Structure 1
Amino acid sequence: MSTPAHAQATPHPVPPPGTPPRLVLGSTSPYRRELLARLRLPFDCVAPAVDETPQPGEAPAALATRLARAKARDVADAVAAHTTGAIVIGSDQVAELDGQPLGKPGNHARALAQLQTMRGREVLFHTAVAVLRSSTGYAGEAMATVRVRFGQHDDALLEHYLRLEAPYDCAGSAKCETLGIALLGAIESDDPTALVGLPLIHTCALLRAAGLEPLAWAR
């Protein structure tokens, strides 16, 4: 008896021949790790050894680009000795207000001061990503800039938010992927995950250029 057309199973895509190149995320950030995992690709995380101190007069966007490139290069050099053909991702985010970088607050007092300063204002979040594949000489990079307008919230609400989420490791002192979204008035971006820490649209494009098609190898 033939199987009804509506009951036929959808064929699973045939995996490409061989194995995918090793993918390495040059970061220990849990936010970037979670974002890259959305692509359903196997990858490793390696901590880059990069000094993140801004250079004198360095613009926030230039700082993010330089650090993303440096992280990718450092990790690519580290894995080259025992892995041939690895693809390495480096990324960095720098928030900007009035042309000056806003770093990670690190503690409650500095986080509160950041939120008070940004209240009712627009902040730019520059998220750079760099992809290297040393075996082929490929080196690509991209930048996603997100415009974020913060709402008008009194100090008591800012204090309450900080006590609940303790976003002291986040530039801008707010986690937009969770309760921090309630602090914001608007977000403008062409790459929606950039604000969290890794612009996945740009990352996919760079991986393709490096020889790894995310859709072909997703599992």
Structure 2
Amino acid sequence: MTDAPTSGPTRRRTLPFVLASASPARLATLRSAGLDPHVVVSGVDESVLDGLPPAELALGLAGLKCRAVAARDDLPTGALVLGCDSVLELDGEALGKPGTAEVATERWRAMRGRSGVLHTGHHLVDLASGRHEEATASTVVHFASPDDDEVAAYVATGEPLHVAGAFTVDSLGGAFVRGIEGDHHNVVGVSLPLLRELVGALGHRWTDLWAR
């Protein structure tokens, strides 16, 4: 008499995941972590929250984006919806995307040789239960001291105009960041360890988000 075959672990379906952000860096980070997000841009007016302290602003904007997308009726059934927003705190001021070359140049002249705190707000909604969780991750960023020619060349690439704090760590701006204290992914735009905790708080396993 032969033994009956032993069944393996039950294979669970991939939990649908929606990213309420247009950031290619966030999307790339999540994909590298095994997720396959459905991207839906919120299109909210971010100016409605002007005046808040930096960390509160980042969390408030993340919630604003997430709720706007979660209210749509064309999302995958039972999906988790994530809204994120990042701001750089320097001298107590919240610095978002500079938007113009002039502002980006001024920012870099103020930041070089100094340190700031990059705050990324995370707001996660479970469409199946209606529950939500939110938190902010903060990472200290130590900037190098690029000279005026380097700043001008960097600004001319257009990269710093469209990212919070006018810098990146995963692209051209990486050479102008001499160190960080905290989660590297948070500086890119989404803290994977924090997101895993939020997913768990909503009763799901992080590995259920991995694309099968």
TM range (shorter): 0.7 to 0.9
Shift of 1:91: 0.4
Is 1:127 the equivalent of 2:120? Answer: yes
Taking structure 2 as the reference length, the TM-score comes to 0.87
Q: How does 1:207-218 map to 2 (within 5 A)?
A: 207-218=199-210
Which residue identity is paired with 2:35?
Answer: L
Mapped partners of 1:217, 1:94: distance in 2 = 27
The answer to whether residue 190 in structure 2 is matched with residue 195 in structure 1 is no
Aligned counterpart, 1:146:
139
**Alignment correspondent of 1:175:** 168
Give the alignment partner of residue 44 of structure 2, picking from 24, 35, 50. Answer: 50
- State the distance in 2 between where 1:56 and 1:49 align: 16
Q: Structure 1 82/134 Cα, relative in aligned 2: closer, same or farther at 3 Å? A: closer
Report the CA distance between 1:62 and its aligned residue.
0.5
Return the alpha-carbon distance in structure 2 between the equivalents of residues 27 and 15 of structure 1: 33
1:96 paired residue among 78, 89, 93: 89
Structure 2: gaps spanning 5 or more residues: 1-7
Look up the equivalent residue of 2:32 and give its one-letter code. R
How many Å apart are 1:54 and its aligned residue?
5.4
SS of the counterpart of 2:102? helix
**Identical-pair percentage:** 35
Deviation at 1:15, TM superposition (A): 5.7
CA distance in 1, matches of 2:178, 2:34: 32
- Alpha carbons of 1:104 and 1:139: their partners in 2 closer, same or farther (altered >3 Å)? same
Tell me, in whole angstroms, the C-alpha distance in 2 between the residues paired with 1:21 and 1:217.
5
- The question of whether the paired residues in 1 share the 8 Å contact of 2:30 and 2:36 is answered with no
TM-score normalised to structure 1 length: 0.84
Q: Deviations over 1:93-139 (max 9, x none)?
A: 01111111112111222111110011221111100111101321321
Match of 2:34 in 1: 40
For residue 130 of structure 1, give the secondary structure of its aligned residue in structure 2: strand
In structure 2, the residue corresponding to 1:126 is in which secondary structure?
Answer: strand
Q: Cα deviations across residues 7-54 of structure 1 (Å, max 9, x unaligned)?
A: xxxxxx85624x333211111111111111122223201111322115
The one-letter amino acid paired with 1:124 is V
Q: For 2:160 and 2:51, how far apart are their aligned partners in 1?
A: 27
User: 2:198 is matched by which residue type in structure 1?
Assistant: L
User: What CA distance in whole angstroms lies between the structure 2 residues aligned with 1:56 and 1:40?
Assistant: 35
Superposed displacement of residue 165, structure 1: 5.8
SS at match of 1:105: coil
2:107 paired with 1:111: no
Whether contact under 8 Å (1:26, 1:75) holds in the other structure is yes
